[in-house]
């Protein structure tokens, strides 16, 4: 959404927009991952920068606005991004840094209001209705947030101020970068109905195609289409929902507690893979990573799902619901491996695999069912020992032995260096077994 395409009536400073009743704020960091990465690279500010994997098989995590002018966008294959903007500097992601800054930003939000609904690391909804007496009107609070984030974190954010979540999110998009847009209550309908149908929340490519096929190009077109027509074209729930949005109606409240629906991890390979043993090792690594995130979130998962993307970008998913919810790495891996083996892919060339836990429930108070063949100090105890070691020595300090040698890549390297690496890994393996201690299962 650009300022040129959609705009509210222009007002001078002496006639600011009326923000009465506009107590929902949507705050969105500007090019968050790129901005955070440039804090330690100030010489690159103002130049095209891409954040993502260095290899051509990686994808773009974020890009500065200078790179976006060339068409670079998040989730784009890195090979294409390099072609679009060959002069861009590519920086590897620093997820620890992003998590730190995000935590500090969210803490700032919580000093404004306790009613904060994070959507991701870099955006959140705030309900400031309880903060007006203390901090002033909504627009003033929005400016306070922008100033505080910039002063304390060195990055900028854009703020949408509106009566509802839907309109506030649209407004923050219009405000980018580094701005604030207030949508007064009596201008909501005009503001929303000037938009193209693709701007509505929940309208993806297929829904947009359906709407355009019906001759509906703007939100105003949807607003003046009978609900029954929309229902027949889009479904029982989607049709009425889009009709409500077209009139600016959004009854949802800002939710203080927003539970994650799923937790998972993917791996895109540097080259297409057709070795089942290698895929199994990647599934083990992803299962370990996913299980650690589930435990860190204080959750258990009922359903294990895998995602497999082939060299032609065809993607399939498979899932299985367990008898009892779990956060145990080994149980997740066994299920993921079984799901993959059941596909019978033989030597299919694979580009990406992923493991995800769904059906999450709070781990506190949930029943934990042990298995008959689990030793006294079993997999669950081993996982928690690994968590403690990782917290102290860093992620990956303890890992399954089968993940230490990378035979699939070693076959493509010179024998001499490979043998030396093997010796070093054997030494690491011995150290890691010593860290696990007696009674804990290896692997």
Same-domain pairing of 206 and 242: yes
- What percentage of the chain carries pLDDT values higher than 70? 77
Q: Domain for residue 103, yes or no?
A: no
Respond yes or no on whether the N-terminal peptide bond of residue 68 is cis (omega within 30° of 0): no
Cα Rg, the chain, nearest whole Å: 25
Active-site residues: which are they? Answer: 123
The band of 325, judged by pLDDT with boundaries at 50, 70 and 90, is confident
Give the full edge-to-edge strand order of the sheet including 123-127: 116-120, 123-127, 24-29, 157-162, 180-182
**429 shares a domain with 353:** yes
> At which of 59, 78, 96 does a domain end?
96
Whether residue 363 sits in one domain with residue 321: yes
Let me know if residue 420 belongs to a domain.
Answer: yes
| Angstrom distance (rounded) from CA 251 to CA 227 | 18
On whether both 39 and 88 belong to a single domain, the answer is yes
Tell me if 425 is assigned to some domain. yes
Pairing of the two strands 60-63 and 49-52: antiparallel
Question: Between 401 and 18, whose confidence is greater?
Answer: 18
d(CA 19, CA 184): 5
pLDDT digits (tens, 9 = 90+) for 187-230: 999 999 999 998 887 787 788 989 999 999 999 999 999 999 99
Give the Cα separation of 306 and 337 in Å (integer): 9
Looking at the predicted structure, is the pLDDT value of residue 339 above 80?
yes
Residue 4, domain member (yes or no): no
Is the same domain home to 78 and 223? no
Domain with 86 in it? 32-96
What domain count does the chain have? 3
pLDDT at 385: 60
Q: Distance between CA atoms of 418 and 242, rounded to whole angstroms? A: 58
Which of 247 and 407 is assigned the larger pLDDT? 247
Whether residues 298 and 391 fall in one domain: yes
Residue 116 counted as domain residue: no
pLDDT tens, residue by residue, 366-406: 444 444 444 434 555 655 565 565 555 455 545 555 555 55
Q: Please indicate, yes or no, whether residues 317 and 414 belong to a single structural domain of this protein.
A: yes
Is residue 256 one of the residues assigned to a domain?
no
Percent with pLDDT over 90 in the chain: 49
Q: Does residue 331 form part of some domain? A: yes
Confidence of residue 84 (pLDDT cuts 50, 70, 90): very high
Between CA 80 and CA 60 the distance in angstroms is 10
What's the CATH number where 71 sits? Answer: 3.40.1170.60
- What's the average model confidence in pLDDT over 126-139? 95
Q: In terms of domains, do 213 and 319 share one?
A: no
- Give the DSSP letter of residue 145: H
Where does a domain end: 246, 274, 289? 246
Residue 405 within a domain = yes
Q: What is residue 369's predicted lDDT score, i.e. its pLDDT?
A: 46
Mean pLDDT of 242-269: 84
Residue ranges of the alpha helices (H) in 119-204? Answer: 132-135, 138-153, 165-175, 188-193
**Residue 274 is labelled as binding a ligand:** no
Domain containing residue 298: CATH number: 3.30.1490.100
Lowest mean pLDDT among 21-35, 138-152, 310-324, 424-438: 424-438
**pLDDT tens-place string over residues 274-314:** 999 999 999 999 999 999 888 888 888 889 999 999 988 88
| 278 and 392 part of one domain | yes
Q: What is the CATH number of the domain that holds 242?
A: 1.10.150.20
Whether residues 201 and 306 fall in one domain:
no
| H or E segment and range at residue 259 | none
Q: Which of 96, 118, 142 is the last residue of a domain?
A: 96
- CB within 8 A of 186, min separation 6: which ones? 18
228 marked as part of a ligand binding site: no
What per-residue confidence (pLDDT) applies to 437? 40
pLDDT greater than 80 at residue 357: yes
Strand 116-120 with 60-63, pairing: unpaired
> Quick one: pLDDT at residue 55?
65
- Do 301 and 373 fall within a single domain? yes
Q: How far is CA 175 from CA 27, 116, 158, 172, 320, in A?
A: 10, 20, 6, 5, 43
One domain, residues 284 and 397: yes
């Amino acid at each position: 959404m650009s300022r040129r395409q959609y705009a509210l009536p222009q007002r001078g400073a002496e006639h600011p927009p009326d923000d009465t009743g506009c107590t929902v704020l949507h705050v969105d960091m500007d090019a968050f991952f790129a901005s955070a990465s440039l804090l330690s690279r100030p010489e690159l500010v103002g130049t095209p920068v891409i954040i993502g994997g260095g290899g051509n098989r990686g994808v773009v995590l974020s890009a500065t606005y200078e790179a976006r002018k060339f068409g670079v966008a998040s989730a784009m294959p890195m090979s294409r991004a390099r072609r679009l903007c060959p002069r861009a500097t590519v920086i590897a992601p620093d997820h620890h840094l992003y998590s730190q800054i995000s935590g500090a930003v969210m803490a700032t939000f919580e000093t404004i209001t306790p009613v904060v609904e994070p959507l991701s690391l870099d955006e959140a909804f705030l309900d400031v209705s309880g903060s007006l007496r203390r901090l002033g009107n909504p627009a003033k609070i929005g400016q306070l947030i922008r100033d505080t984030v910039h002063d304390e974190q060195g990055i900028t954010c854009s703020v949408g101020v509106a009566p509802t979540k839907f309109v506030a999110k649209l407004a923050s998009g219009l405000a980018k970068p580094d701005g604030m847009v207030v949508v007064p209550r009596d201008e909501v309908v005009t503001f929303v109905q000037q938009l193209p149908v693709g701007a509505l929340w929940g309208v993806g490519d297929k829904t947009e195609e359906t709407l355009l096929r019906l001759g509906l190009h703007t939100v105003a077109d949807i607003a003046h289409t009978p609900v029954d027509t929309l229902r027949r074209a889009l479904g029982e729930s989607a049709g009425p929902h889009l009709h409500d949005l077209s009139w600016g109606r959004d009854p949802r409240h800002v939710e203080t507690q927003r539970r994650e629906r799923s937790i998972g991890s993917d791996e895109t390979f540097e080259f297409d893979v057709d070795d089942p043993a290698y895929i199994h090792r990647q599934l083990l690594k992803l299962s370990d990573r996913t299980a650690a995130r589930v435990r860190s979130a204080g959750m258990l998962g009922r359903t294990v799902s895998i995602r497999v993307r082939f060299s032609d970008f065809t993607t399939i998913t498979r899932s299985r619901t367990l008898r009892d919810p779990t956060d145990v790495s080994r149980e997740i891996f066994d299920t993921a491996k079984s799901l993959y083996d059941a596909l019978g892919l033989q030597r299919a060339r694979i580009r990406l695999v992923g493991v995800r836990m769904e059906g999450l429930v709070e781990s506190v108070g949930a029943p934990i069912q042990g298995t008959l063949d689990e030793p006294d100090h079993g997999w669950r105890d081993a996982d928690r020992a690994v968590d403690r070691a990782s917290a102290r020595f860093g992620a990956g300090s303890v890992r399954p032995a089968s993940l230490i040698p990378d035979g699939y890549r070693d076959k493509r390297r010179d024998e001499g260096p490979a043998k030396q690496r093997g010796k070093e890994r054997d030494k690491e393996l011995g150290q890691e077994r010593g860290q696990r201690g007696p009674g804990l299962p290896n692997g």
